[in-house]
Amino acid sequence: MILAGLEPLQLIDVEKLEILETILPQGVSLLDILQARAAESERRNISPKNFLIARYPREDANEFLRREYQAIGEHAKRLFFGAS
């Protein structure tokens, strides 16, 4: 039973949050994404990850995570091989 004005609960994990980080800067809100998933009967029952990939093509990798990865790599190089 669904009450008027309520939508089914949608759960997302960290992996989907990382995908969302690349989508939200495109100007779409989390509410828009959740409403779109609930409204699309053909995609409503697929995994959130597959829905996000199918509905919102990723323009580029997550730049924040890329910078963090590079900073960690540089720090590891300094630890193992000394300052250069």
User: Over the stretch 24-55, which tens digit does the pLDDT of each residue have?
Assistant: 888 899 999 988 988 888 887 888 888 988 88
CA-CA distance, 40 to 7, in Å (whole number)? 13
DSSP one-letter string for 1-17: ---TT--------HHHH
Number of domains in the chain: 1
User: In the prediction, which pLDDT does 71 show?
Assistant: 93
Q: Is residue 7 part of a domain?
A: no
Q: Is residue 38 part of a domain?
A: yes
CA-CA distance, 62 to 1, in Å (whole number)? 39
Q: Is residue 5 part of a domain?
A: no
Residue 57 lies in domain: 14-81
- Compute and round to an integer the Cα radius of gyration of the chain: 18
pLDDT at 1 over 60: no
CA-CA distance, 23 to 29, in Å (whole number)? 9
Q: Is residue 4 part of a domain?
A: no
pLDDT at 73 over 80: yes
Q: Is residue 45 part of a domain?
A: yes
Q: Is residue 52 part of a domain?
A: yes
